[in-house]
Amino acid sequence: MSKISPYFDYQIDESGKGFLSVNVRGMEVLRLTATNKGTAFTYEEREALGLDGLLPAAVVTLDDQVNRLYKGFQRQVDDIEKYQFLRALQERNEVAFYALLERHLEEMMPIVYTPTVGKAVQQFSALYKIPRGLTISPQNIERIDQCLDNYPWNDVRIIVATDASAILGIGDQGHGGLAICVGKLALYTSGGGISPFHTMPVNLDVGTDSHKLLDDPTYLGIKQPRLSGKPYFELMDRFVDHVEKKWPKAVIQWEDFSRAVAFEVLERYQHKIPCFNDDIQGTGAVVLAGLLSACKMQNKSIADQRVVLVGAGAGGVGVARAIKAGMMKAGLSDEQARKQLFVVDIEGLLVDGKNIEPYMQSVSQFESTFADWGIEGEVPTLNEVIRYSGATALMGFTGCAGLFTRKMVQQIHKNADQPIIFPLSNPNANCEASPQDLADWTQGQAILATGSPFPPVTYNDKDVRVGQGNNAFVFPGIGFAAVLGKCKRISEEMVLESAYALSDYTEEHYLAKGMIYPPIAELREVSIQVTTRVLETALEDGSSDREEIRNINLEEYVRSRSWDAQYLPFVAA
């Protein structure tokens, strides 16, 4: 594969400066999102590429374009219109889109990703205008090689793939899940430094069990019940096998799979290809980082905490696994760590040998732990766990708005001067408690984090910080490290290190200001640190065997390989 794309390639001139060699002309240059610079084409480029007369006379800079585009963004009347504005820009001019996003990331991230992307997913078929990414379904899986060859980028390094069975707390969304993958990859580029021309969003359209979608005449996905069991994994196996054959070092991030298959998909492929599940591992890492930072704020160890996690889906169990790993890293045994973790599902506390599925086993509780609690049922309820466990931290992954009550939170406050309360469900409407209520119920003492951004809150004129435990702080760094390391796998140690890198960054820059996560505006700098630390771990544990980078300054290497949104000179091929 000699070119990034059939349409253009990146080359370096004799002085060491990069340029694009373009082999299309005229309107085709302006219609391709990767080659369109619009009014920023120089007069020389316009003449060489057959654009003379096709553009206004003025030649402007990228900064001029971004300023004009930002004014257009501000004119949009609601979040969905803002989302559509940005998606249209991305399909018109890729570099300008990322330049705009990078300059206004904190403002625009809730638009391109959670919470607005959830609304866009639900309206995907109605909003659909321009194709992006790859759709694999039972209708074309037999032609998977041709489908992969049809994709416009030749050298894919990062793939975000979903079967859309469990999207952001809104469930089975069928073909609409593709919007999630597009949004994630936008963050890989703007936040992580991955070139957009090495990425691929994939919807594994295996059907849907949503009657609303199946009965919708405008629905664009395959209209059949979801595949399951053997047919489902036959399709998945073919997809993975053929991606590995075409792009052997491509990293796959599994996204928004239901708990029924998420752990099985991860376990099935994690030793075959470099892959990870963001809902399980990314969520686990980012929440662990927040907990570590909260412990530093308390001048305590994670080994001192007793944590109640509500919700035993992919996210909840992934977080429990990460916290257990953090407790063991702090010196506890596996058994000791499990005795300080209380994972509660709709049926009550997960108990070893009782109401659990195999993926829950490693974080289930022992019967001996609650033998003297005097509970009424076979396993403790959430209220009983909070009452008797001595919990110092409470975390939610349920999508059940208002689940955390004043009584629950105040019980935890009795056990800790600064209770750690993380209602992490997305979108905001599904959050287990509002940050303002949590501040009021704890006299402003709670250490808070949510999954989506919330406005600042106060208690008696005191500002109470609300951290945003967003996976974007870790997944771009994990993926980019795996790309740069040409990793054969993504190890648990690599994922765990991302949590410590994020916590250390926060401690260095923001902990003294009462923050347990950095601001989203610093996502690129955070990702540089996470990428560097994860890459170091990959080299240490053998996930990467790139000996030629082992003894160099890895942070400088990561920075040198990061993509920036800027126009390069164009030369006619």
* Catalytic site positions: 113, 184
> Which amino acid type is present at position 306?
R
- Is 459 buried (19+), middle (13-18) or exposed (0-12) by CB count in 10 A? middle
Q: Are strands 307-310 and 393-396 parallel, antiparallel or unpaired?
A: parallel
Report which residue type is found at 368.
S
Tokens read off for 48:
């060489």
Could you tell me which residues come within 8 angstroms of residue 502 by beta carbon, excluding any fewer than 6 positions away?
A: 285, 286, 289, 473, 474, 517, 526, 529, 530
Q: Is 208 exposed, middle or buried, given 0-12, 13-18 or 19+ CB atoms closer than 10 A? A: buried
- CA pair distance 398, 379, nearest whole angstrom: 19
Report the C-alpha gap between 533 and 529 in whole angstroms: 6
Residue 73 CA to residue 92 CA, distance in Å, equals: 15
Tokens coding 278: 């963001």
**CB-hemisphere CA count at 13 Å for 16?**
0
SS3 28: helix
Run of H or E residues at 407: helix 406-415
CB atoms within 10 A of CB 288: 30
User: How many angstroms separate the CA atoms of 167 and 97, rounded?
Assistant: 25
Q: How many C-beta atoms surround the C-beta of residue 410 within 10 A?
A: 14
How many residues in total does the chain contain?
573
Q: What are phi and psi of 449, to 5 degrees?
A: -150, 145
Nearest by Cα to 199 from 263, 149, 132 = 132
CA distances from 39 to 86, 104, 165 (A): 18, 22, 42
**Residues 6 or more apart whose Cβ sits within 8 Å of residue 163:** 177, 203, 204, 205, 206, 226, 256, 257, 261
Token readout for 135 is 């759709």
| Cβ count near 334 (within 10 Å) | 12
Q: Hey, which residues does 396 pair with through a beta bridge?
A: 310, 423
List the beta bridge partners of residue 171.
none
CA 341/CA 308 separation, integer angstroms:
6
The token pair at 173 is 């969304």
For the chain, the distance separating the N- and C-terminal CA atoms, rounded to the nearest angstrom, is 17
Nearest to 363 by CA among 305, 322, 302, 306: 322
